[in-house]
């Protein structure tokens, strides 16, 4: 009881304490002026054009533009940011005007968001565009979605302004319009030249094949510039004078280059894989570092290099890749060679210059990595190019496009659909989660067979709990929260948008799976199997039992009253969220999920102390937090009460003659009278293991041993009615539950 009182006091203190750095309970709003994001400007013009922007003047000339972004953030409401770019496409500044991001008000200081936005100043929008699909994009730890939305919004806004105003290297709009109107403008196109075989020396000399040669010392120097030293002890450091990578690239789709690189048979086979007019790039390399990596095996994406042209970044997938065993015999031998076709949906022009960005990585911890990139510029030699009127080039493009589209339907979404790009980048994670959910569904559907094999079922459950903690929690950080419930409720009331909820693929899939599972198994599917924090509690309690830590038995009359606490907390938080979402987010810190799973205890001491107190209580009372304080569990229990099926078997002796299952339920969800409380059941199926075990379940044990059978001797009716019958208690029945020997006596 003293432990319970102490935890309740800690709960009150944490819920209502005002952490340092919190910006209050309301939304942040500030009066940001154009001069704040474009220092040195003498005056600003009116906001006009598409996209809207105000010209910034210096010395009487336009020095750049100021624009505003307004993208939907984690809260479901806009994040307004004012930013400026100069004529070279360099950000002059960026500041937050308004945000409603409640996740930043507790545990994550708003200053981190402001610092993140301020770091855009001095960075080139063109250079940053190559990072749009890579892992180099900065994030705010614990607020990844917010950071991704801000980055995407600023990049789209800046590139839109640069294109529409003809700055940062983009042609002036007037020149483009004039050429299109007159039809007299000329553009570069591929020349139709007869094939002429070229040897390796000529290909390199004229620039048909370009080289990127990096020694290990070159890469070491690049990492040292960003503050990253040797990879040891997490990986072997390379010999400084040896090749990190010696990479060569060329446009295979230009006939003279392609046929000169490989044999005739290989050229015919590889060319047939390309659609008419489709561009393809051949890359070959030696050295310690693989340009392919293993990402395309795990998730179907080559994440170590990308093709960048203008403001477009192209990532290649496994479906756009063909392995090449060797080049034409007269050419050098390489350790790895690959042919990559440009997806039809990409707006790639082989006549224009482009670059290949090689992403080098270095481990900085057991699971952390740092990244830096190296560029290889490529421009087709002039002899492969010619000019043609703009109208003819456009017609040629229109003719060629249907063939490419018919070859393979584009799989990429428009650039403004951020959630599609996020899903594509997490293909492997989505696949792993889908497989795990399929396995869990099979466990539930075949539970009657599995529970009759206690050893197999026990190992399967322990393995799934470990998966939930390690992969779902520590790696994927796919921990559901009651804040998701509040956000969904507010979105329904104020304007629902699917795009916002799709920004987190794993969270979205988990919520969909949880919603469906409520109809079949109530809250138990998520709370008992998929919740990383709940799984961690259970595994720690099992370890405590093995160490001999004595368990605290809560009397049922007190236990069923403590049940109500989490429902009271949930209803209170829900009511607060309808009026002030930010305040509800702060009160929702009663959930230790952010501290333990998302931030891994890297928070203020009071949050860490509260989380450790809950985990410590769980060592003595199994799943203590799930039983009495979990507001998410309460939120799931309310709709879960209407489940359509009840697949947990019971016997007429349950509660009346036997309470074995009730005493072994890990959360005491079984009433002494025998019935299972669906609101509290976590579907661990321990009771089902007992139910089918004829060496454990007392009614089955008695049946197996032949007890309770009628004797052959006649009974006296009068004795049965008037004389008391003295029954000899049965011998104690030995059984095993949870690897512990217990004793039960039937009376």
| DSSP states along 540-590 | HHHHHHHTTPPPP---HHHHHHHHHHHHHHHHHHHHHHHH-HHHHHHHGGG
Higher pLDDT residue, 177 or 308?
308
Average the pLDDT over each of 12-26, 369-383, 655-669 and give the range with the smallest value: 12-26
Specify the DSSP class assigned to residue 504: S
Q: Quick one: which of 249, 480, 533, 273 has its CA closest to 379?
A: 249
d(CA 539, CA 545): 10
The 3-state DSSP composition of the chain as helix, strand, coil percent (nearest 5) reads 45, 20, 40
pLDDT class of 311 with cuts at 50, 70, 90: low
Specify the DSSP class assigned to residue 183: S
* pLDDT per residue as tens digits for the range 110-134: 677 788 888 888 888 877 765 544 4
Higher pLDDT residue, 733 or 378?
378
Sign of CA dihedral 666, 668, 673, 677: negative
Sign of CA dihedral 525, 530, 531, 537: positive
| pLDDT average, residue stretch 547-563 | 90
Q: What is the largest CA-CA distance in the chain?
A: 120
Q: What is the pLDDT of residue 233?
A: 75
d(CA 668, CA 21): 41
Q: Looking at the predicted structure, is the pLDDT value of residue 263 above 70?
A: yes
> Residues 281, 286, 289, 294: what is their CA dihedral angle, to the nearest 10 degrees?
50
d(CA 372, CA 225): 10
d(CA 306, CA 234): 26
Q: Looking at the predicted structure, is the pLDDT value of residue 532 above 90?
A: yes
pLDDT class of 401 with cuts at 50, 70, 90: very low
* Residue 415 phi, psi (nearest 5): -60, -25
Contact 534, 527 (CB under 8 A): yes
Cβ partners under 8 Å of residue 736, min gap 6: 695, 696, 742
pLDDT class of 411 with cuts at 50, 70, 90: very low
pLDDT class of 387 with cuts at 50, 70, 90: confident
Higher pLDDT residue, 393 or 31?
31
Neighbours of 671 (CB within 10 A): 17
d(CA 118, CA 525): 43
d(CA 614, CA 618): 6
C-alpha dist (Å) from residue 740 to 247, 548, 661, 689, 734:
62, 11, 14, 14, 11
Share of the chain above pLDDT 90, in %: 30
Q: What is the pLDDT of residue 455?
A: 92
- In sequence order, what E strands does 268-347 have? 280-286, 305-309, 312-314, 321-323, 336-341
Angle between helices 482-494 and 556-579 (to 10 degrees): 40
Average pLDDT, the chain: 79
Render the burial of 390-417: b for 16+ CB within 10 Å, e for the rest. beebeeeeeeeeeebeeeeeeebeeeee
d(CA 295, CA 428): 9
What are residue 309's DSSP bridge partners? 312
pLDDT class of 229 with cuts at 50, 70, 90: confident
Q: What is the pLDDT of residue 511?
A: 92
């Amino acid at each position: 009881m003293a432990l319970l009182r102490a935890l309740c006091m800690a709960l009150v203190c944490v819920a209502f304490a005002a952490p340092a750095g919190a910006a209050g309970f309301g939304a942040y709003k500030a009066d940001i002026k154009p001069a704040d994001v474009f220092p040195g400007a003498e005056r600003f013009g009116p906001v006009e054009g598409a996209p809207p922007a105000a010209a910034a003047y210096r010395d009487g000339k336009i020095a750049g533009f100021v624009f505003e972004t307004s993208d939907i953030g984690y809260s479901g409401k806009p994040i307004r940011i004012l930013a400026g770019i100069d004529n070279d496409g360099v950000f002059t500044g960026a500041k937050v005007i308004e945000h409603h991001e409640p996740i930043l008000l507790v545990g994550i200081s708003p200053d981190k968001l402001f610092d993140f936005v301020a770091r855009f100043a001095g960075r080139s929008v063109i250079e940053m565009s190559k990072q749009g699909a890579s892992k180099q994009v900065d994030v705010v730890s614990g607020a990844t979605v917010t950071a991704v939305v801000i980055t995407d919004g600023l990049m789209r806004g800046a590139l839109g302004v640069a294109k529409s105003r003809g700055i940062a290297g983009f042609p002036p709009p007037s020149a483009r319009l004039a050429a299109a109107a007159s039809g007299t403008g000329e553009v570069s196109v591929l020349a139709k030249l007869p094939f002429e075989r070229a040897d390796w020396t000529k290909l390199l000399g004229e620039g048909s094949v370009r080289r990127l040669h990096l020694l290990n010392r070159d890469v070491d120097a690049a990492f040292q510039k960003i503050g990253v030293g040797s990879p040891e002890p997490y990986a072997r450091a390379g010999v400084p004078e040896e090749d990190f990578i010696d990479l060569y690239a060329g446009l295979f789709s230009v006939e003279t280059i392609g046929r000169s690189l490989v044999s005739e048979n290989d050229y015919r086979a590889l060319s047939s894989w390309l659609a008419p007019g489709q561009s393809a790039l051949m890359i070959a390399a030696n050295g310690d570092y693989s340009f392919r990596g293993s990402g395309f095996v795990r998730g179907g994406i080559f994440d170590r290099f990308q093709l960048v042209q203008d403001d477009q970044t192209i990532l290649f997938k496994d479906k756009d890749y063909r392995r090449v065993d060797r080049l034409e015999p007269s050419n050098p031998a390489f350790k790895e060679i690959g042919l990559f076709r440009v997806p039809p949906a990409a707006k790639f022009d082989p006549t224009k210059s482009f670059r290949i960005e090689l992403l080098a990585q270095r481990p900085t911890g057991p699971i952390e990595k740092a990244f830096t990139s190296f560029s290889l510029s490529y421009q087709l030699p002039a002899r492969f190019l010619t000019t043609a009127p703009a109208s003819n080039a456009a017609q040629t493009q229109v003719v060629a496009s249907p063939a490419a589209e018919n070859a393979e339907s584009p799989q990429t979404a428009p650039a403004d659909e951020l959630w599609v790009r996020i899903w594509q980048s997490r293909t492997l994670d989505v696949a792993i989660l889908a497989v795990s959910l399929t396995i869990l569904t099979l466990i539930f559907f075949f539970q009657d067979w599995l529970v009759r094999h206690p050893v197999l079922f026990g190992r399967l459950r322990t393995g799934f709990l470990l998966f939930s903690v390690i992969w779902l929690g520590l790696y994927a950080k796919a921990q559901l929260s009651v804040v998701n419930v509040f956000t969904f409720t507010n979105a329904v009331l104020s304007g629902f948008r699917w795009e916002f909820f799709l920004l987190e693929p794993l969270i979205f899939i988990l919520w969909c799976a949880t919603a469906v599972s409520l109809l079949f198994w109530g809250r138990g599917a998520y709370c008992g199997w998929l919740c990383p924090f709940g799984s961690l509690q259970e595994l720690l309690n099992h370890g405590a039992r093995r160490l001999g830590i004595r368990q605290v038995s809560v009397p049922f009359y007190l236990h069923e009253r403590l049940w109500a606490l989490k429902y009271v907390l949930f209803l209170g938080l829900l009511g607060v969220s309808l009026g002030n979402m930010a305040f509800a987010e702060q009160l929702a810190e009663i959930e230790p999920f952010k501290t333990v799973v998302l931030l891994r205890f890297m928070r203020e001491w009071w949050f860490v102390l509260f989380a450790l107190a809950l985990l410590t209580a769980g060592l003595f009372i199994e799943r203590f937090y799930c039983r009495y304080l979990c507001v998410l569990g309460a939120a799931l229990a309310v709709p879960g009460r209407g489940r359509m099926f009840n697949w947990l078997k019971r016997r007429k002796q349950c509660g009346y003659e036997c309470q074995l299952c009730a005493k072994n339920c890990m959360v005491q969800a079984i009433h002494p009278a025998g019935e299972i409380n669906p609101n509290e059941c976590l579907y661990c199926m321990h009771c089902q293991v007992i139910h089918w075990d004829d060496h454990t379940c007392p009614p089955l044990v008695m049946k197996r041993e032949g007890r309770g059978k009628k004797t052959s001797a006649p009974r006296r009716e009068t004795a049965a009615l008037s004389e008391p019958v003295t029954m000899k208690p049965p011998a104690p029945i030995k059984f095993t539950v949870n690897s512990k020997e217990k004793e039960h006596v039937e009376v």
